[in-house]
Amino acid sequence: MNAKPHILLIYTGGTIGMIKEYTSGALKAFDFSNLEKQIPELKQIDCCIDSKSFETPIDSSTITPEHWIHLVELIESNYKLYDGFVVLHGSDTMSYTASVMSFMIENLEKPIIFTGSQLPIGDLRTDAKENLITAIQIAALRENGTPVIQEVGLYFEYKLYRANRTTKISAAHFNAFTSPNYPCLIESGVSLEVHKSILLRHQHSSDVIFHKSLERSIILIKLFPGISEAILKPLLMTEGLKGIIVESFGAGNAPMFDWFKSLINELVAKGIQIVTITQCFGGSVLPSHYETSLTRINNQIINGKDMTTEAALAKMMFLLGQKTPLKCFKDAFEKEIRGEMK
């Protein structure tokens, strides 16, 4: 480790990387190579900052697994050179990207902090400066020479969350993200209040592993009153489908129509993995708690517990991408591996 932390800033795209020209009002790309000149407050942080950008910055609404793999490779190639990473990303899909990063990088012992903004960095009322400055400060935090944060986090509007616990809740307010089922890791006020007891720590000395295989043949279904067999069955019988995330009602409930139960059993028999999570903002799936519980239809239905939709999708893509054996998949998914569920 360096005496002074070295932080790598990675710009993937998004609003935070734009700056407004005051004469024309047009947005142009921010020059991160002159970061400290543009934001002199960064000089007060006792760290060295380098930056890299995607060759072609992307709008986060067009993010793909190929971009995620590229980001992992970028972090891997620089992992030994830096003490922490700050990833700038569009807010629309930030929770998806940050969640999948937490699974793709195993035995992480350095901070990877995602942040972004609702307004461009040069806007009069921008949230970009505070988010960026504090994200870098958090990535540089050390105690006895060791990084305080050793996991993937998401910082927005004065709070650092565990990345795979987050979801975006607003397109109009600066507090755009929340963590419905897990407390924040750090709160930024007059000082940084670190909640050390809930930070993720690895109790072994295994080397970091960068996984680069993700399965895309999955689908997300949100149950709703009036869902029909004529529409749903052809969709779920798509050739090559390997996994389904079902956003169930309440604590994991589903319609008990004969056609629906028959369809679920047929899918399970074909070896398709089905995970049930709640479509409620907060809370958890309680398997078999009610007569209408989805897990009562077939005991191979996987309990997603209190996972967010973003984390459930990321974990399924990851586990299927690792060729997890079908007979082990349920146990593997229901086991917490990156602090994503309880």
- How do residues 68-126 score in pLDDT, each as one tens digit? 999 999 999 999 999 999 999 999 999 999 999 999 999 999 999 999 999 988 788 88
Compute the CA torsion angle 260, 263, 268, 270 (nearest 10 deg).
-170
Does the active-site annotation cover 23? no
- Same domain? 181 vs 255: no
Domain that holds residue 189: 6-210
Please give the model's pTM, rounded to 2 decimal places.
0.95
Residue in the structure block whose two tokens are 């650092």: 160
When divided into structural domains, the chain yields a total of 2
Domain boundary among 210, 241, 264: 210
% of residues, the chain, pLDDT over 90: 85
Buried b (16+ CB within 10 A) or exposed e, 160-180: bbbbbbbbbeeeeebebbbbe
38-56 tens-digit pLDDT: 788 888 999 999 999 999 9
Burial (CB < 10 A; 0-12, 13-18, 19+), residue 52, is middle
26 class by beta-carbon count within 10 Å (0-12 exposed, 13-18 middle, 19+ buried): exposed
Q: Examine residue 82 and state whether it is found in any structural domain, yes or no.
A: yes
Q: Cβ(14)–Cβ(121) under 8 Å?
A: no
Distance in angstroms (rounded) separating the CA atoms of residues 117 and 50: 20
pLDDT computed for residue 52 by the predictor: 95
Q: What is the pLDDT of residue 191?
A: 94
Residues 293 and 205 both lie in one domain: no
Q: Are residues 183 and 245 in the same domain?
A: no
* 289 and 160 within one domain: no
Residues 89, 30, single domain; the answer is yes
Q: Give domain status of residue 269, yes or no.
A: yes
165 and 27 in a single domain? The answer is: yes
Same domain, residue pair 178 and 45: yes
User: Do the domain assignments include residue 245?
Assistant: yes
Within a domain: residue 339? no
115-151: pLDDT as tens digits = 999 998 878 888 999 999 999 999 999 999 999 999 9
Helix residue spans in the chain (DSSP H): 35-38, 65-78, 94-104, 128-140, 229-236, 258-269, 309-321, 326-334
Whether 313 and 228 share a structural domain:
yes
Domain at 254, CATH number: 3.40.50.40
Among 117-126, 202-211, 233-242, the range of highest mean pLDDT? 233-242
Average pLDDT over residues 177-193: 97
Q: Measure the CA–CA gap between 228 and 47, rounded to whole angstroms.
A: 57
Residues 175 and 300 grouped into a single domain: no
Which residue among 180, 210, 240 closes a domain? 210
Active-site residue, from 15, 126, 166, 295: 15
Q: Are residues 143 and 225 part of one domain?
A: no
Shared domain check, 87 and 38: yes
**Co-location of 283 and 306 in the same domain:** yes
Domain boundary among 210, 242, 257: 210
**228 pLDDT above the threshold of 60:** yes
CATH number at residue 144: 3.40.50.1170
- pLDDT tens digits, 15-39: 888 887 767 777 777 777 777 777 8
* Length of the chain, in residues: 342
pLDDT at 1 over 70: no
Confirm whether 341 is domain-assigned.
no
Residue 1 within any structural domain of the chain = no
183 assigned to some structural domain = yes
Number of neighbours of residue 229 by Cβ within 10 angstroms: 13
- How far is CA 44 from its chain centroid? 29
